[in-house]
Structure 1
Amino acid sequence: MKPQSKTDWERVKREAAADAPIAHDAEAEPYDPNDEAAAAAYWSQAKMVRRGRPPAAVKRPTLNMRVDAEVLEHLRGLGKGWQTKVNRLLREAVDSGRI
């Protein structure tokens, strides 16, 4: 059974139908929502912002590789950032000519 809503939906519908002006506090709000030109001007300056970590400058390809369970356990035991540490170790080995 759905819980009973505390919202008076009939009142909400009546107010929406009457197109009642929205209460506005000039000191606390950036624009008057009842003024279409002010609302349009405000939202025309809005910027889309991507959430989360910014994309890396250089994308590294994903590698799927099979290793012994003990090796993987040891690598993960290096702690946070273990994949970056493994990449650094491989990079050093390649740069030095060991592999």
Structure 2
Amino acid sequence: MRKPLTDKHGEVRELTDEDFKHMRPMAEVLPVDLQRTIRQRGQRGRQEAPTKVKTTMRLSPDVIDHFKEQGPGWQSRIDQALKEYIREHHHG
């Protein structure tokens, strides 16, 4: 039995290689009109910033709770906090 993708708060857990093995193309599972909407909203220009690296790390529950309490985007806020730490503590 596979783990649910979301927790009781609707937060999506980190996807595993096993999750990706079970995914199907959206053309197989979504109505055409919804596919069009997703494609329109998902349009991005040329990526200016470097892409992020997928990683797994363990953080204290109080750290996760702090960032999740601020709502969606908690993972990006952790990334931003770490970038600020690097700027403030870089001695190069």
Calculate the TM-score normalised by the size of structure 2: 0.43
User: Bigger radius of gyration, 1 or 2?
Assistant: 1
* Bigger fraction of residues in helix: 2
Calculate the TM-score normalised by the size of structure 1: 0.40
